[in-house]
Amino acid sequence: MNNFGTLYYYEVKKILSRKLVWSVFFINVCCIVMFTCADLMGKYYVDGEVADTHYHMFQVDQDYRRALSGRQLDTALLEEMQEAYSKIPDTQERYMLTDEYQTYARPYSEIYNLFRRWTQKKELEELRAWQPDEEALYAARLETMEQLWREQQLTDAEKALWREKEAQEQENRPLTYLYHEGYTKLLANGLNTLSILVQMFVCICMAGVFTDEHTRRTDQLILSGAKGKEMVYWAKIAAGASVSAACAALLSAITFMLVFAVYGAEGFGTSLRFSAYLCSSSERFSVGQVCLIEYGILILTAVFVSVLVLVVSELLHSSIATLAVSVGLLMAGILARIPEQYRVLSQLWDWLPARFLNAVYIFDNRTVPLAGYCLVSWIAVPLCYMLAGLVMVLAGKRIYRNYQVLNR
Amino acid sequence: MKLVIDRVSKQYQNRIAVDRVSATLQKGVYGLLGANGAGKTTLMRMLCGILKPTGGTITFDGMDVSEEAYRAVLGYLPQDFGYYPEFSALDFLLYLAALKGIPKAQAKCRARELLALVSLQEAEKKKIKTFSGGMKQRLGIAQALLNDPKLLILDEPTAGLDPKERVRFRNLIQTLGKDSIVLLSTHIVSDIEHIADEILMMKAGQLIYRGNWEHEQGDLEEFYLQQFEEEGTHE
């Protein structure tokens, strides 16, 4: 008889009945609330004096950005921006403290920041000397991208791929700016923070799924049961993977809700070119689409990491040792970095689950050459995770089947 | 119905836990006696397929111990085993019923039936963490009977039971022995001397005695203790 559903139900129940699981989940929710609101808390100081609160500054900028929403990034808008910034007295070192900046320029700060990113003209004088022209701006972006591709040591095939995507995006010119603060927050550090929290949850909560049976000595009952050597293994893997996926989905949903409640949900269709965090990508997605792809990958990564932890725990037969290995790997991924000059090594290192869940790596300009095609990271890495997960699950099954209940 | 144990051995690095044990068991109750470390638990684990013998074979009606079909007719109560503290008694039995391949619809009826048999029907919804040692042991006995096993292996089943429960349990074993093979290990002679159809005695991994024990042969406990003394003399 196929009792997989019942076994799966009880395996999930075993995981969820542990206080540890709920404690870690609750801590994760607290961390999400903190990271969402932290930027808005506290005061802004200038020369030791309180100048403003972060929340008020955010509100002011939000109003200005919303006022720009729906406008095309064309010569007219660039001229307005340049004119506004020209009113700032050029003697000031910190121009942001001037009344002129606050009154005239600040409403266009979003466009100015975009100008700086696209043209690499970082100084105010350079803007003043610049002749506003949308064609020149888009051309400058392409030039900046070419320089970046050279620095990243991209192959000719990769450069051709991204040039083609940039050319396709030209069809939509002039691009329309939309208010998208919520998505910026989700892209900038939302995903990163959440990925670490989810992986921590998985490492801590999944380390005991197999090992608890050995330490509790319930393994004797399980392994002597008709379905104990095969179906229970799959039920445990499915339970661990689905609880991890559910945790990732739930924490993602909480993050989305909180971020949208605080920063607003509008701007789903904003071109990625406007994103402060991902403007170095030539993908033709909107910020909303990128968020959906990234958070989808987060769920897949949670499943992959859970499989890794489950299999390692069955191999080591110790939840502490499993925790040490998985958290060690997580920390190494967070702390260590391999310079881009070592192209293959650094690319592989950046694929570690602890590093990959970062918008910059998911939409990396470095691709994977495969049968003459350039496979982009956001497709190649999840495929690798799936393949590696499958191999690990099959290896784990062998370890599980061969387990011997010895004297203890 | 035949359990064939053919020259089964288990060797750990430099110690032989079970040494070429052979026996053919048919319907009935078999009492396995032996001092601590004699190899009883190791032998039982091998009979349950959770420990691989280093030599020999174990088959039940031609089915090898490693097959799922073998485990489907097996009921096992380990000597020292754990529970899921947050599970209720009913949940525990339903989980193990699923593990034994019993269909869901049948499992609930069978679980309730067995809870009544071991006098735990009142506690079916209580969490196992609130159970006493005796209640846990009775629950363990219930789980071993879930699939109406043809081969029932009980490792020290009376541990933790009070005298009244022990007597009830003996009667239950006697009934089960009519339709299946029951192998029961203990070091308490009185647990088996009246119900076992045959006595198996183990010492240093070897089967040193097998047969019926009749009153005329004397006191079983005395015979059993003699083996200990001999062991002591050797040492």
The 10s digit of each residue's pLDDT in B43-52 is 999 999 999 9
Using CB atoms, which residue from B51, B91, B103 is nearest to A404?
B51
Nearest CA in chain B to A9: B95
Using CB atoms, which residue from B52, B72, B101 is nearest to A404?
B52
Chain A interface, Cβ < 8 Å to B: 1, 3, 6-7, 10, 13-14, 17-18, 215-230, 232, 404-407
Q: How close is the nearest chain B Cα to the Cα of A231, in Å? A: 8
Contact flag B81-A217 (C-beta cutoff 8 Å): yes
Contacts of B201 (CB under 8 A, 6+ apart): B32, B33, B34, B207, B208, B209, B210, B224, B227
Contact flag A1-B82 (C-beta cutoff 8 Å): no
Q: How close is the nearest chain B Cα to the Cα of A403, in Å? A: 8
Residue A262 confidence (pLDDT) = 93
Provide, as residue numbers in chain A, all residues whose Cβ is less than 8 Å from the Cβ of B65. none
The C-alpha atoms of residue A64 and residue A73 are separated, in whole angstroms, by 15
Give the strand order in the sheet containing B15-26: B15-26, B2-12, B55-60, B63-64
Residue B36 confidence (pLDDT) = 85
Query: Do A130 and A121 meet the contact criterion of CB atoms below 8 Å apart?
Result: yes
Provide, as residue numbers in chain A, all residues whose Cβ is less than 8 Å from the Cβ of B96. 221, 225
Using CB atoms, which residue from B71, B102, B104 is nearest to A224?
B71
Contact flag A3-B41 (C-beta cutoff 8 Å): no
| ipTM score of complex | 0.91
For A152: left if phi > 0, alpha if psi spans -120 to 50, otherwise beta; the answer is alpha
Residue A1 confidence (pLDDT) = 52
SS3 B11: strand
Residue B212 confidence (pLDDT) = 81
Nearest CA in chain A to B73: A226
State the helix-helix crossing angle for B133-144 and B89-99, rounded to 10 degrees.
Answer: 30
Which one of B15, B16, B44, B50 makes the best mutation probe of the A interface by having the most chain A beta carbons within 10 Å?
B50
Name the band, by pLDDT with cuts 50, 70 and 90, for residue B149.
Answer: very high
SS3 B3: strand
Provide, as residue numbers in chain A, all residues whose Cβ is less than 8 Å from the Cβ of B49. 223-224
User: Interior CA angle at B191 toward B190 and B194, to 5°?
Assistant: 70
Query: Nearest CA to A68 among A130, A25, A111, A31?
Result: A111
* Residue environment code for B105-123, b if the CB has 16+ CB neighbours within 10 A, otherwise e: eebeebbeebbeebebeeb
The C-alpha atoms of residue A143 and residue B115 are separated, in whole angstroms, by 78
- Averaged pLDDT score across all residues of chain B: 89
With a cut of 50, which residues of chain A have pLDDT below it? Answer: none
- Residues B64-73 have pLDDT tens digits of 999 999 999 9
User: Is the bond preceding residue A174 a cis peptide, omega within 30 degrees?
Assistant: yes
Tell whether the model's pLDDT for residue B232 goes beyond 60. Answer: no
Chain B interface, Cβ < 8 Å to A: 41-42, 45, 48-52, 68-69, 71-72, 74, 76, 78, 80-84, 86-87, 91, 94-96, 98-104, 107, 143, 147
Q: Which residue has the higher pLDDT, A370 or B97?
A: B97
Residue B231 confidence (pLDDT) = 53
SS3 content of chain A, % helix, strand, coil (to 5): 70, 5, 25
Contact flag B78-A217 (C-beta cutoff 8 Å): yes
Nearest CA in chain A to B68: A226
Which one of B95, B102, B136 makes the best mutation probe of the A interface by having the most chain A beta carbons within 10 Å?
B95
Query: Do B181 and B13 meet the contact criterion of CB atoms below 8 Å apart?
Result: no
Name the band, by pLDDT with cuts 50, 70 and 90, for residue B228.
Answer: low
Residue A208 confidence (pLDDT) = 94
Provide, as residue numbers in chain A, all residues whose Cβ is less than 8 Å from the Cβ of B104. 3, 6
- The tokens describing A274, both together, are 């406007």
The C-alpha atoms of residue A272 and residue A252 are separated, in whole angstroms, by 21
Contact flag B48-A225 (C-beta cutoff 8 Å): no
Contact flag B102-A1 (C-beta cutoff 8 Å): yes
Contact flag A228-B71 (C-beta cutoff 8 Å): yes
Nearest CA in chain A to B103: A1
Residue A113 confidence (pLDDT) = 93
Tell whether the model's pLDDT for residue B42 goes beyond 60. Answer: yes
Tell whether the model's pLDDT for residue B219 goes beyond 80. Answer: no
Q: How close is the nearest chain A Cα to the Cα of B174, in Å? A: 23
The structural domains of chain B, with segments of one domain joined by +, span: 25-73+149-235, 82-148
Q: How close is the nearest chain B Cα to the Cα of A361, in Å? A: 42
Provide, as residue numbers in chain A, all residues whose Cβ is less than 8 Å from the Cβ of B87. 10, 13, 17
User: Which CATH class, in words, describes the domain spanning B25-73+149-235?
Assistant: alpha beta
Contact flag B76-A3 (C-beta cutoff 8 Å): no
